[in-house]
Amino acid sequence: MILKRLLVSLLLQSFLLSTNLSLAQSERGFAISLYRAGEYESSIVELQRWIYFNQDAPFAPYARYLLALSQGRMGKYAKAASTLHGLIDSISGQERDGYYGELICESHLQLLNLHFRERRFRDFEIENDRFAAACSDPDPRLSAGAQSMAVAIHVYDRNWDEALKALGTANLLDRETSETLERGINEMNQHSPKSPVLGGMLAIIPGLGHLYAGRGVDGLRSFLINAAGIGLTVFCFVMGMPVFGVLFGVIETALYLSNIYGGVNAVMQQNARFIVERRDELLKILTVPPLDVITLREELYGP
């Protein structure tokens, strides 16, 4: 009788355990499907609930990784970084050769991506050192992503010397891309901007400052407006209308001073525009992808 009860109890426990495992797997699949569908807010809720009830499950570390990606996709960068740091700390003592090693490397890479998006350059450099220390031989896809971001962050900051150094160590970028980037970065490193002071001096003759800046239409407009103001002022004095002559003279003085300021400002704007346009062209070549695109987690995009 006792043996029968024990057997029934064991069968019941086995049934409940298999049911719980099946339910957990089903919920896990639902969370992944929400992420695949771009329902990041819902996936955050579902993953947090799953993690709470299955903290010791084998899938738990990956669920936390997926939670961080969902938070990052929602723009909650600080929460995503905190989740990734917690994940790394929780599995840092596990075996590094297999699943946990890949997850640690990917977590460091996603932290790099987060810092890149927030333009936190110092934190990026620190995390890049951690990535190198934690992943001595990472998957080439991860290394290529980290190297691209390392170059891109210096290009974005317009730190051309550091960008060249980072490019020199980016051995996983293809040769054509590296050569194109090197030419573009060297061009920017050797670029001499136009002088705003010279633009202001040339603007003594209305329109020449704008012309020097490369704004021919604005220069022509400035010349015609000032020429009209000077002409009206002289005409009024010649025709014996001193009151109107003084009035137009005051207006023309303001226009003339504005022309000089405009010449200086036009040069400064064109200098900034040139640098930003060239920088953005280089960043398009690097094409740093959004969160989770550089990943070894194929199940994220599976059927």
Residues in the chain: 303
Q: Compute the mean pLDDT over every residue in the chain, rounded to the nearest whole number.
A: 81
Confidence of residue 11 (pLDDT cuts 50, 70, 90): very low
DSSP string, 58-72: TTHHHHHHHHHHHHH
Q: 10 Å Cβ neighbour count for 103? A: 20
The pTM of this model reads: 0.68
3-state helix, strand and coil shares in percent for the chain, rounded to the nearest 5:
80, 0, 20
Q: 10 Å Cβ neighbour count for 226? A: 18
Alpha-carbon gap, residue 139 to 275, rounded angstroms: 35
Cα–Cα–Cα angle for 30, 72, 155, nearest 5°?
Answer: 140
In Å, how far from its chain's centre is CA 146?
13
Token couple for 30? 């639902």
Architecture of domain 24-191: Alpha Horseshoe (1.25)
Amino acid at 110: Q
Confidence of residue 95 (pLDDT cuts 50, 70, 90): low
Mean pLDDT of 33-51: 86
What ranges do the domains of the chain cover? 24-191, 196-286
Using alpha carbons, list the distances in angstroms from residue 115 to 78, 79, 149. 10, 12, 10
Map tokens 């020429």 to a residue.
227
Percent of the chain at pLDDT > 90 equals 17
